[in-house]
Homo-oligomer: A and B are copies of this chain.
Amino acid sequence: MQTSEATPVFILVEPQMGENIGAACRVMGNFGISELRIVKPRDGWPNPKAVSMATGSPVLDNAQVFETLEEAVADCQLLFASTAQPRNMVKPAFTARAGMAEIRGHIEAGQRVGVLFGAEKSGLPNAAITLSNAIITLPVDRSFSSLNLSMAVGVFAHEWRAGDPAPAEFKPLDERAPEQEMTAFYNHLEEELERAGFFYPPEKTPLMMQNLINAFARGGLTQQEVRTLRGVIKALAIGRGKARIERD
């Protein structure tokens, strides 16, 4: 479903290590960014280390290799240069979050947007930043600011998706017990505690019940959990060893 949607084009400019190209392919695949272009990879192409680190990512097979930056960006209508180092250029600078929102707006308006990533050692050449319409950067700790190349790709790739909801497969909390079952559970608990002589002095009963109910209401309970906890109360109320005897 994600793959049919238009996404930014990620462009690695003269990357050095095949491992990083492969890891970039993997994480782009994780977040459904399908189009990778590579300008003059140092160790040629194809690269076995890239294949190994891509772990079967479909992005690797579709990657296009170019001899020059100009060819790689020819059809892009907007370019965002990722860089950790300000280059003394007067250009709008976005964080990953703000920049990806900006890019999404352009893409939804039908524009083709490229995001440029520089080489491991030196980052993007000044000429690539000059061509770009804007800078996109990360809020790094200035005392330890050098990100691994594939990590930078990963962070931007995730940011493209960061506003999506959690995958639907995660069990939502929609199995919560309805309030009438919670009330019946609280009443059962209060009755048995009353019988056991737990509430002392007796005028404290409402406050003590309020505290207990708060503890259960905070996380909520499913119907199954309510049934289990009522079994727990019953077993404890019968007295030590007797639940087992009754069951036998």
Contacts and interface: CB of A to CB of B under 8 A. Distances in A.
Nearest to A164: B139
Given A86-B169, A158-B155, A167-B86, A26 B96 contact: no
A97 B94 CA distance: 18
Nearest to A137: B166
Given A23-B148, A147-B27, A95 B162 contact: yes
Assembly stoichiometry (copies)? 2
B175 A162 contact: no
Given A26-B148, A90-B222, A139 B170 contact: no
Interface stretch (A28-36, A41-49, A188-196): A28-36
Nearest to A222: B90
Contacts of A15: none
A96 B162 CA distance: 7
A88 interface: yes
B30 A146 contact: yes
Contact of A167 (B140, B154, B162): B140
A55 B146 contact: yes
Contact of A90 (B55, B97, B155, B175): B175
A170 B31 contact: no
Given A96-B158, A147-B27, A91 B171 contact: yes
Interface in A106-155: 135, 137-142, 144-148, 150-151, 154-155
Nearest to A159: B162
A202 interface: no
A158 B156 CA distance: 10
Interface in A38-60: 55-58
Contact of A173 (B92, B161, B175): B92
B31 A139 contact: yes
Interface string A75-88: 00000000000101
Given A95-B166, A151-B154, 10 more contacts: A26-B151, A30-B147, A32-B141, A94-B166, A97-B162, A138-B158, A139-B164, A139-B165, A154-B154, A159-B162
23 contacts: A2-B141, A26-B148, A30-B145, A30-B146, A31-B141, A32-B141, A56-B144, A88-B171, A90-B171, A90-B222, A91-B173, A93-B171, A95-B162, A96-B158, A96-B162, A97-B162, A137-B170, A138-B158, A139-B161, A139-B165, A140-B167, A154-B155, A158-B159
